[in-house]
Structure formats: C-alpha cells, structure tokens
Structure 1
Amino acid sequence: MPLKTQLRAKHSQVFRLGQVVTLLQMTATELDEHLAAEAQENPILVLRQRRAAGMSATDVLEMTAVAQPNSLYDHVFRELAGLLGQGGLMEKLITALIAELEPSGWLGRTPAAIAESLQLNEELVDAALRVVQKRIDPAGLFARDLKDCLRLQLEDRDAMTAEMELVLDHLPALERGGPSALAKATELSSDSVQECLALLRRLDPKPGNAFVVDPTLTREPDVRITPSGDGWDIEFLSSWQGGVEITQLPRGGRASEANEALAKARALKHALDMRVSALKGVVGEIVERQGAYFRLGDRALAPMTLSEIARETGFHLSTVSRILNGLLIEGPNGIVLARTLFTGTASAQATQSKPQVQARIRALLAEEDLRKPLSDRRLTAILQSEGIAVSRRVVSNYRQDIGIHPAAKRRLRA
C-alpha cells in the first residue's frame, strides 16, 4: 500500500476514534445540539427527530417530590405544599412556577411567557408569583431577575428606601462606570450610594445556590425506564433518537467537497452507532443489576462497581466511565444520576451497599423507644445479628450521614 494511502487511512481512523470519544462523553441534550450543528454544515446528513412529549403537572410534582434531600427543589416543594394542596387553578399556577425555577433561584421564563404556555392571563401568573415570593424562604427565590431578587430581600429586611429604589433602578450604570456613575445617574450623594451598595453586598444575588445542587432537576433525563413484567423497557431520550441518514449531495458540486462531506457523515454515523451500542449495553447491565433499586429505592441499592460493568459488557473501563458522564436515568421513583448507583459494600466482609445499611439503621431508629434509645454499639450488634458485617465506627458514621443524633441527645429530646 502506498505511503500516502496509508497515511490517509491512518488519519481517517484517528478522526473516527475522536468522533466516538466525543460522542460518548455527551449528554442527550449536548448530542442533540452537536448533531443539529453537524447537519447544518453537512448537506449529506439528514436527521430524523423523535417527537418530544410534554411535561404534565403531575410529572413536575413527582419530579419535585423525589428531589434530592436538602436540594432547592426539595425545599421549595415542602415550603409550598400548602398552596399546592389547594388544588385547582392555584395548583396549576404554582406547579408551572416550580417547573421554571432555575438552580440560581430565579425564574427561567417571564410571567408573560409562563401565562402564554398555560393559556391564562398574565395577571393571574403575576398574582400567584407574588404569593409565592412572600411565602417562600429565603427571600429572593422565584425572582424575575437580579433587581427583583435584591428587592425581595430588601423588603424582607424592611430596608427598601427611596434611595435604594433609585439604586436598583439604575444598576446598569454601576456596571458601566462604577459608584461614581451610579451616583450621577441617581442624583444621590456618594455617601448615600456607598451606604446602599454596602447593604446590597450583604444580600445573596442567587439564593438558590445555598442549597445542595441537584443535577437531576437541571435538565431532562438521558434514559427513561419503565417496568415491563419482571423486566424493564429502556428508552433513550435524545430527540434525534431516530438517528442520522446519509443522502446524496445535490448535483453540480465539486467532487472533492462531496467526498469530504461523505467521509465526515460516515464517521459521524459510525460514532453515533457505537455510542448507541455502548450506551444500550452499559445501561442495560445497570438496570438488570439495580432493578430492585428502581422499584424500591435506596434500601435496595446493590453494590456495583465500574469494573464489574466493564467486564460484563466487554467495554473498556474508560468507555464505561465516559458513558456515565452526567448520565441521568428516570425510573418509577424519579430521576437519578447514574454514577450514584455505583457504590461498594459497607465493609470488606459485608455484602450490602452503604445505602442499604443506612436504610436499615434509619428503620431501626424509627422504631426505637426514645426513653431507651439504641446506642451505636447496640445498633452494630443488631445489624451483625442480621448478617450485616459492619463495625461500630461504620455505624456511627452512617448514622451521622443520615442526620440522626447520638443516643444521648435523642434521649434528652424525648
């Protein structure tokens, strides 16, 4: 084979490998964006899009109900449970507002846009938003923008003055020219501006960031599984799930350009097929191993490692790791980050995972007599009698992790 041909073949192999690695690391959303961009540049590529289903009010409520403990969405759902419990139009409005809440604590869309999607008057959405903003804590959540967020916090502190109102109205001047420009725009003295800015610096412009970050609620899942008899139906949720097709280039084009476009299209299709094959294999193995978890929750989470999945599927460990990069799986109990399903045993001798042991500890303590609370030593003995080989130190750490006080403090609170 001539050297030039060898180099061309080698270059083609490296290009295809790079495509595979790139696609393996993408989430469903990122894959959609990448394929759309490639199709726009390459006239040979044709995408077949899957129709996306809308999210109902029930979907949103279930999503918030299973949010990670101490996350922003878990907090909001609990704070607004009373309003949601009213049902009817109020439930519909509050649900829509929760669905638009971003991790920062701000709304992702304006009340006008929300009203349009609900086919309701904007005044109704504004009224519901005012109720939510006054009910929710900390102040500043569900803000429309930065100005609204700061205003809500100032009102909560009874610190909204005429001077502060002027400062908030002219915040863009601060960005453009600093305090002096702000003083000129508001016609306030420098001292007044500095006092207002000192107070504003003590506020939190993104109150949602104070909560545990819950990636399962920041975007759509990549995979959805539903029970099917004793097994599961697995759906992969890229909107381009139909895949890509390679068509003919319009006549009149240059042969070199056509060949280059065809090579890139084939490389992309090959990489996409490999991604789909790897994704199906890895997710299928995970679902098979963790079927009990998807039905019953943390107490049924089985020990599982990346190496085990790699060995069973035949993929390299690095490939499995790339596939799991940010992968979200939606099951009957909500959305979970795939990597959180990988956990070792509670100890070298135990066969149970950490979540399983924690769930058992939680169950034992929920039934204890608070006049004689179970000590960590007694918990250890009970667990060991049940065949769970853990030490007292492990039990103590797990008890602390799930937020339960020592026996002495529980006795005092009884």
Structure 2
Amino acid sequence: MAVALAHQQGLRQGFALRLSVSLLALPAAELEAHLAALAAANPLLVLARPRAGRWSGQGASDRLEAMAAEAQPSLIAHVMQELHGLLARDGPEARLVLALIGELEPTGWLGRAPGEIARELGESAETAEAVLRKVQRMASPAGLFARSLGECLALQLEEEGALDPQMRAVLGNLGELETGGPRALARRAGIGEEVLAACLARLRRLDPKPGARFQDDPVPMRPPDAVVALGPEGPELAFGQEAQPRVRVAALPPGPRSPEMAAALKEARAVCQALELRQGALREVIAALVSMQKDYFRDGRAALRPLRLADIAAATGFHASTVSRVLNGFLIEGPQGIVAARDLLCGAVSKSGSGCSSARVGARIAEILRREDPAAPVSDTRLAELLAAEGIEVSRRMAARYRARSGFASAASRRLRA
C-alpha cells in the first residue's frame, strides 16, 4: 500500500512539474487559450477571463489583420520549436544552444561570437563552433545564426547546393565591392567580370536578413503585460492584473467522490499551483530586467546596458532556460512605448571593458550619420575612429555592421545619392 501511495504521489508531482514547465514555455498571448483548453477538459477547473476586451475599439479589418499577424510566430518561438530536440537533451550542448538562441538578433544573425558565449558557460570554443554549425544546419530558413552577411548567404547557397569555389571567392571578398566596385572584386576573387555578374545576380535573390520575416511580438495586437512609469526613485513596475487570466477550483459538495472526480480535483489544483508558480517566476524575472535596464526607461534605447539571460538568471536564481521562457512574448509599456521584454537583452560590443551595449553603439552611429555632410559622408573607418574617441572600441568591420543594421547604406552609396 505504501509503495502504491508513493507511486501515485510521484505521478502527481511529475504531472505538476510538467505542467509548470509547459505554462512557463507559453508566451503571454497564448496562455489564456491553453488554460481554456485545460478548463474545457476538466469540469472542476474554472477559468476567469480577463475583464478588458482584447479587441475593444477595433474594426473588422483591424481584427483580421491582427489575427493574421498572430498566426506568424516570433523568431525566438520558431527556433525554440525547431531546435526542441537539442534543447530537450540537457547538458552542455543544450546550454550552448539556448545561449545561442538568446543572442539572436531580429535579422536572424548571431549577436556575439560563439567563443565568448562558450567561455561564459565554461565550454571550449571548439565545442561552441561545432554546436553552432549543427544549429545552422537544423534551423530554417537557411541563414539563421550567421555571424556575417557572407556566412548568411553561404548557408543559403550551401542548402541549394550552389556554394562552388567561385561563389566562395566572391563571398570571401565582398568588402571589395564597396571600396573598389565590381572590377576590384573580380580581380580579388580571381574570376572574370561576366562570371562575377552571374554570381552577384544569384546573391541578390537570397535573403540577407532571414529573421526579419518573423513576427517580433505583435505589439499592436494586445495590451501590454506590464507597465513601467518613472517615479521619484526610478522605474515603477505594475503588472496588468486585469488582463491576466486566472483559474480556480470549483467548489464541491461534501461527501464521497468517484475516482474520476478525485483525479480531476488533483489536476485542477495542480493547474492552479503551476499558474501561481509561473506568475511568481514572471514577476521576479521582469522586476530584475526592469531594474537592470532602468536607464532605458528614462533615456531610451541608447542607454541600454549589456545584459544577457545569464545575468538575469544569476540575479533571480532561476535557470537561464526558465528566464528565456518567461521573457517569451512578454510586452512592457513604458515612457518609450511598448517593447518586447526580449528586446531589453543586449550584448556588449567588445571586450574592452567599457560596458557599452550594441544598442548604444547603433544609436550613436545613427546619430553621427544623420548629422553628416551629404557631400562628404562618414566612412566606416572614420566611424570606428569617432567611436574610439568616445571610449567605444569597435573595428571597422563592426562599425559597418552596426551602420547597416541602423538602415544606412555604405559611404559610397550615400555619396552617389547626394
């Protein structure tokens, strides 16, 4: 009898644990639908829906557009699903995969070198490179997790079986196209101009930003999950209680219960407990995130500090995978507007110790280029020099990457337009 009771208790605990993990993995926008499905299958689980109407104030066309946008998954949700097999194994490989996902930028490119990620996790650079290569081959569309434009295009050509030596030579010397034009690129790649023209025509059909096709958190489609206001002592965080779904266990009359009803009661209680655990983890993680990025809510994106999943995990005591799940699809409204919680994560641009975030570098470059003389546009080399004078050490190549991400063409292209 004791063995049987222990077995039943183990099953109940296992169910509660699996339930807690599944609720944590859900984006806030999908939580209500999942709870509704659980309530429909369990007569003792009552779902209290949010009081505020989700579609209030919107016309029929707005609703259709919103529903279409919600059908498109976010980039993070997409790759988490595609790499589920690697994440489910646990161990060093799973931790590296999760860390790589955490460094994905909206373009689909990797924001930091895998060697840096590996050092933080106590793994070798060789192991990180091997895991990255596996992730690049598994994730679709091809080009996700690339570290540069050349690698992004190479991954797509590799999938098509079109990465021949001539194309490799072109991709390896793309910088020549900006500085010297097609002829210089043809000479450096060791190919004829006609062959180069064919290669460039094929490259133009590829997608340089494969992550941009995914929906980043549908900001206009639903109210935010939390609101941040500036108080006398800094950001003040309030969670949207009215918009959060709640569950309760239905009252039962006293007396004996059938085995089916007893099982339904235990499961209903487990759902309530799992939701409570989710809300507790969510509050701690979001509070830590807002506190660490308090300057952002006062001064904007340029004030974002370098922040990773591991930093929040260390501050809250939760595993990095739990932090990642909590941030998935969570929206915060503040003085700068509505922002996805994941967008407040930001890698450092260098190992110089300056503590400068990639968001700050992008904002500073955009500011410099908006003020430039159109007849004498600032080159990438000059951008790197100007940033260095401010204590921000980046290479010319990195300056070019941040310039492109900020929506500015090369200096040669900007000069032509002027």
So what's the TM-score if we normalise by structure 1?
A: 0.59
Aligned to 2:217: 216
Q: Is 2:375 the partner of 1:375? A: no
Q: Is 2:392 the partner of 1:388? A: yes
Q: Matched residues in 1 for 2:403 and 2:362: separation?
A: 7
- Per-residue deviation, 1:103: 7.6
- Per-residue deviation, 1:12: 1.3
- The alignment covers a number of residue pairs equal to 275
Aligned to 2:369: 365
Equivalent runs, 1:9-408 vs 2, <5 Å:
9-52=9-52, 97-98=61-62, 100-102=64-66, 212-217=213-218, 219-221=221-223, 223-229=225-231, 230-236=234-240, 239-241=243-245, 243-250=246-253, 254-349=257-352, 350-408=354-412
- Per-residue deviation, 1:221: 4.8
Q: 1:46·1:247 contact (CA, 8 Å) conserved in 2?
A: yes
Q: Can you list the C-alpha shifts for 1:274-326, whole angstroms capped at 9, x where unaligned?
A: 00000101111111122332344321222110011011011111211222233
Q: Can you list the C-alpha shifts for 1:28-60, whole angstroms capped at 9, x where unaligned?
A: 332212222333333333333331156777xx8
Q: Matched residues in 1 for 2:297 and 2:230: separation?
A: 13
CA gap of 1:102–1:240, structure 2 versus 1, over 3 A, is closer
CA gap of 1:100–1:334, structure 2 versus 1, over 3 A, is farther
Secondary structure of 1:101 counterpart: helix
CA gap of 1:306–1:8, structure 2 versus 1, over 3 A, is same
CA gap of 1:52–1:402, structure 2 versus 1, over 3 A, is same
Q: Matched residues in 1 for 2:56 and 2:250: separation?
A: 37
- Per-residue deviation, 1:383: 0.8
Q: 1:379·1:395 contact (CA, 8 Å) conserved in 2?
A: yes
So what's the TM-score if we normalise by structure 2?
A: 0.58
Q: Which moved more, 1:216-225 or 1:398-407?
A: 216-225
Aligned to 2:188: none
Q: Structure 1 stretches of 5 or more lacking a match?
A: 61-92, 106-208
Secondary structure of 1:37 counterpart: helix
- Per-residue deviation, 1:223: 1.4
Aligned to 1:118: none
Q: Matched residues in 2 for 1:39 and 1:400: separation?
A: 49
Q: Matched residues in 2 for 1:222 and 1:49: separation?
A: 16
Aligned to 1:127: none
Q: Matched residues in 2 for 1:32 and 1:401: separation?
A: 35
Q: Matched residues in 2 for 1:277 and 1:25: separation?
A: 14
Q: 2:54·2:223 contact (CA, 8 Å) conserved in 1?
A: no
Secondary structure of 1:388 counterpart: coil
Q: Matched residues in 2 for 1:247 and 1:6: separation?
A: 27
Q: Matched residues in 2 for 1:302 and 1:39: separation?
A: 42
- Per-residue deviation, 1:246: 2.5
Q: Matched residues in 1 for 2:295 and 2:409: separation?
A: 30
Q: 1:327·1:337 contact (CA, 8 Å) conserved in 2?
A: yes
CA gap of 1:56–1:48, structure 2 versus 1, over 3 A, is closer
Secondary structure of 2:416 counterpart: helix
Q: Structure 2 stretches of 5 or more lacking a match?
A: 70-209
